[in-house]
């Protein structure tokens, strides 16, 4: 009798069960005393699922004839926690079919499942169900709804930059039935099951539909505005949703507004806001947030730490990034990635590699981001041996199907001179986004294979991937090097007319270079003069073309333009002097050299270096000591 009271108390106050062991003891008691009470079994399921014991929960659940809401809800949540998303949805449908009315505890985890599945239609129909049941004012449910719509919008934006090859394929693959079995499906990789993958394909076509209807951030806003009571999670959710979808000003405005609700920004708020200032390269505002975080004791938070590292790195303050990183009490794979990427993005390749090794030594498992962050270090150091070693590592851990990782490999192999390997990897990727297209195009451009560049660029456009600023740099570089004047003009015009991209310095430089080498010096001069604020470098390259074509008159005009902003530009003096020399105008050469001596302008010697047998000797021009 006493035992019975004890286990009843335990069941009524499930929180006092503090270990899996105690839960199993309770289970034994129930089996002894009331083995078939659905209420007690459901409570036990709830306890088991709180410990994330899916197997134990399912064993009990499967034995129930008509499971109560509590049992359904517990299993659904446990499914989601274990990444068994389709199963969680299937069980919800089964629950509806059985006539069991869901309570408001079911929806938050179910909506999370929809968000992770990126299944818009499903999410919206569950939203409908929530409204019909009158649960659209529940705080937790609304928070989960806003999170879901924000995630949909993000997934949709990502899909937009993919090739539509994937979308076309998925149009034939829409029949995914939700079977109601409660099996745990074999996992194909860390987080997804076979069914999950079917789902992911189906969503792509769902997403196309969103295109016609506009932003899902409107849905987030709608839910937010209708809420009667909002807690800090509500605010953080809507702020993060806006921040993640590029609505930076909206997000920052909401941060200011949350004070009116008597809610103060917490560590979640800050970690959503910091990436905005990183994107804006606003060191001042970023530091303000850093100060706020320190005053509120958030600076130990690994989330805040990672975003601070990222912010400082974006603002080219590697020293500050390192300091933030070093005082963090704990490092997870994301904070390691922040510092690795921070170093690499600022050209500190060796430091980046050192941190990568330290991460491995600290037994932190690298994730795909780790590899896509470190690979540019190999690419820029032209360290093929290292890149290959990492590639092997990538294959062994099964990250070679990741788009970011593959793109970085394409770039690395191309930069190391292995364009065929780069192409081989590119061809084996199942989706290409604009960056991966640009990487392979740039690879061929670097290798001077303009015909490949042009055909790949066309292929990219045909697959519905919008080229951006960098893509045009790549294609124009190739045209310029190959002397393809007509194609270059076509792309230059297409960039502005078809894509609305304002040509920048690099594009003008390609065109000017091309015109200059073709001897169309006046045309080049005209083009450069039409620029908003021509940089010195671009004038210098035209000046160099003037030297090649011995056009002294234009050279003088160009040099004048340079001296206007930089009267002591060494390169300009030397190029102009060389132009005079090429035209055999020796008096002018002497005059210039006299001027240079008077102004104290000296040519600094050029040098280059090369790796030979693990040593890297430098060669200063005119140096014959190595011979």
Nearest 5°: CA angle at 123, between 167 and 240? 90
Strand partners, 189: 192
- Residues within window 266-285 making contact with DNA, judged by CB under 7 A: 266-268, 270-272, 274-275, 278
- Exactly one of 89, 240, 322, 450 binds DNA (CB under 7 A); that residue is 240
Does 227 interact with DNA (rule: CB under 7 A)?
A: no
Does 192 interact with DNA (rule: CB under 7 A)?
A: no
Binding mask 469-508 for DNA (x = CB under 7 A): xxx-xx-----------------------------x-x--
- Whole-number Cα distances in Å, 141 to 15, 64, 91, 137: 23, 27, 18, 8
Do the Cβ atoms of 559 and 578 come closer than 8 Å? no
Dihedral-angle region of residue 500 (phi above 0 means left; psi in -120 to 50 means alpha; beta otherwise)? left
Binding mask 565-604 for DNA (x = CB under 7 A): ----------------------------------------
In the bound state with DNA, the residue whose beta carbon lies nearer, of 310 and 516, is 310
- Whole-number Cα distances in Å, 108 to 52, 83, 127: 17, 15, 11
CA distance 55 to 49: 9
- Exactly one of 86, 367, 515, 545 binds DNA (CB under 7 A); that residue is 367
In the bound state with DNA, the residue whose beta carbon lies nearer, of 181 and 498, is 498
In the bound state with DNA, the residue whose beta carbon lies nearer, of 122 and 592, is 122
Does 372 interact with DNA (rule: CB under 7 A)?
A: yes
In the bound state with DNA, the residue whose beta carbon lies nearer, of 140 and 619, is 140
Site stretch for DNA (CB under 7 A), options 178-186, 200-208, 236-244, 546-554: 236-244
| Non-local CB neighbours of 516 within 8 Å, separated by 6+ positions | 524, 541, 542, 544, 545, 546, 548, 549
Count of residues that bind DNA according to CB under 7 A: 85
Least distance in angstroms from the C-beta of 337 to DNA: 4
Site stretch for DNA (CB under 7 A), options 126-134, 262-270, 489-497, 508-516: 262-270
Three-class SS state of 279: helix
- Residues within window 308-337 making contact with DNA, judged by CB under 7 A: 310, 313, 332-335, 337
Site stretch for DNA (CB under 7 A), options 305-313, 530-538, 558-566, 616-624: 305-313
CA distance 54 to 567: 75
- Exactly one of 164, 192, 245, 408 binds DNA (CB under 7 A); that residue is 408
CB atoms within 10 A of CB 310: 26
Does 403 interact with DNA (rule: CB under 7 A)?
A: yes
Binding mask 111-150 for DNA (x = CB under 7 A): -x--x----------------------xxxx-xx--x---
CA distance 390 to 379: 12
- Kindly provide the residue ranges of all beta strands, DSSP E only, lying in 379-535, ordered along the sequence: none
Do the Cβ atoms of 43 and 11 come closer than 8 Å? yes
Least distance in angstroms from the C-beta of 241 to DNA: 8
- Exactly one of 320, 433, 487, 513 binds DNA (CB under 7 A); that residue is 433
Least distance in angstroms from the C-beta of 584 to DNA: 37
Least distance in angstroms from the C-beta of 367 to DNA: 4
Least distance in angstroms from the C-beta of 116 to DNA: 9
Do the Cβ atoms of 312 and 320 come closer than 8 Å? yes
Do the Cβ atoms of 551 and 543 come closer than 8 Å? no
- Residues within window 383-402 making contact with DNA, judged by CB under 7 A: 402
DSSP assignment of 500-539 equals -PPP-HHHHHHHHHHHHHTT-HHHHHHHHHTSSS--HHHH
User: Helix-strand-coil percent breakdown of the chain, rounded to 5?
Assistant: 70, 0, 25
Site stretch for DNA (CB under 7 A), options 387-395, 452-460, 463-471, 521-529: 463-471
Phi, psi at 36, each rounded to 5°: -125, 20
Three-class SS state of 189: strand
Q: Which helix (H) or strand (E) holds 22?
A: helix 20-33
In the bound state with DNA, the residue whose beta carbon lies nearer, of 164 and 408, is 408
Does 236 interact with DNA (rule: CB under 7 A)?
A: yes
Does 349 interact with DNA (rule: CB under 7 A)?
A: no
Does 351 interact with DNA (rule: CB under 7 A)?
A: no
Closest-CA residue to 540 (of 522, 532, 528): 528
């Amino acid at each position: 009798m006493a035992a019975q009271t004890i286990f009843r108390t335990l069941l009524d106050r499930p929180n006092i069960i503090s270990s899996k062991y105690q839960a199993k003891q309770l289970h034994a008691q129930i089996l002894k005393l009331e083995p078939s009470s659905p209420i007690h079994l459901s409570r036990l399921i709830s306890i088991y699922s709180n410990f994330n014991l899916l197997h134990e929960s399912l064993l009990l659940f499967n034995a129930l004839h008509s499971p109560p809401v509590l049992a359904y809800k517990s299993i659904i949540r446990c499914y989601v926690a274990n990444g068994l998303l389709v199963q969680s949805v299937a069980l919800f449908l089964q629950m509806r079919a059985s006539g069991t009315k869901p309570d408001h505890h079911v929806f938050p985890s179910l909506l999370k499942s929809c968000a992770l599945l990126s299944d818009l239609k499903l999410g919206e129909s569950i939203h409908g169900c929530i409204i019909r049941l009158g649960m659209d004012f529940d705080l937790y449910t609304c928070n989960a709804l806003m999170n879901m719509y924000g995630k949909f919008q993000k997934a949709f934006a990502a899909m937009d930059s993919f090739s539509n090859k994937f979308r076309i394929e998925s149009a034939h693959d829409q029949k995914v039935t939700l079977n109601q079995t409660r099996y745990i499906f074999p996992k194909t990789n860390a987080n997804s099951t076979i069914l999950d993958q079917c789902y992911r394909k189906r969503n792509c076509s769902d997403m196309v539909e969103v295109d016609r209807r506009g932003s899902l951030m409107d849905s987030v806003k709608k839910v937010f505005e209708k809420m009667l009571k909002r807690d800090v999670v509500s605010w953080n959710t809507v702020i993060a949703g806006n921040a993640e979808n590029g609505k930076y000003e909206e997000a920052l405005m909401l941060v200011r507004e949350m004070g009116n609700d008597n809610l103060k920004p917490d560590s979640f708020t800050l970690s959503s806001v910091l990436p905005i200032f990183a994107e804006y390269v606003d060191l001042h505002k970023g530091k303000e947030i850093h100060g706020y975080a320190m005053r509120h004791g958030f600076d130990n938070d690994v989330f805040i730490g990672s975003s601070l590292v990222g912010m400082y790195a974006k603002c080219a303050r590697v020293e500050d990034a390192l300091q933030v990183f070093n005082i963090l009490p704990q490092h997870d794979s994301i904070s390691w990635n922040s510092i690795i990427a921070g170093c690499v993005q600022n050209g500190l390749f060796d430091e980046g590699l050192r941190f990568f090794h330290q991460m491995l030594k600290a037994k932190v498992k690298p994730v795909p981001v780790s590899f896509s962050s470190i690979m540019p270090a190999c690419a820029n150091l032209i360290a093929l041996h290292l890149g290959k070693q990492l590639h092997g590592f990538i294959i062994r851990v099964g990250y070679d199907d990741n788009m970011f990782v593959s793109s970085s490999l394409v770039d690395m192999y191309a930069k190391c001179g292995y364009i065929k390997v780069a192409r081989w990897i590119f061809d084996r990727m199942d989706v290409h986004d604009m960056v991966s297209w640009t990487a392979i195009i740039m690879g061929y451009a670097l290798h001077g294979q303009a015909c490949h560049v042009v055909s790949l660029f066309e292929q990219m456009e045909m697959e519905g991937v919008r080229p951006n600023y960098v893509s045009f740099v790549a294609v124009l570089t190739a045209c310029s090097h190959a002397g393809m004047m007509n194609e270059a003009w076509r792309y230059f015009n297409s960039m502005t007319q078809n894509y609305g991209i304002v040509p920048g310095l690099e594009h003008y430089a390609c065109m000017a270079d091309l015109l200059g080498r073709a001897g169309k010096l006046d045309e080049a001069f005209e083009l450069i003069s039409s620029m908003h604020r021509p940089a010195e470098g671009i004038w210098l390259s035209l000046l160099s073309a003037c030297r090649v074509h011995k056009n002294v008159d234009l050279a003088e005009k160009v040099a004048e333009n340079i001296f206007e902003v930089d009267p002591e530009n060494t390169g300009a003096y030397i190029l102009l002097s060389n132009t005079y020399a090429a035209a055999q105008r020796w008096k002018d050469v002497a005059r210039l050299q006299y001027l240079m001596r008077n102004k104290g302008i000296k040519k600094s010697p050029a040098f280059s270096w090369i790796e030979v047998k693990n040593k890297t000797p430098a060669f200063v021009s005119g140096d014959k000591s190595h011979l």
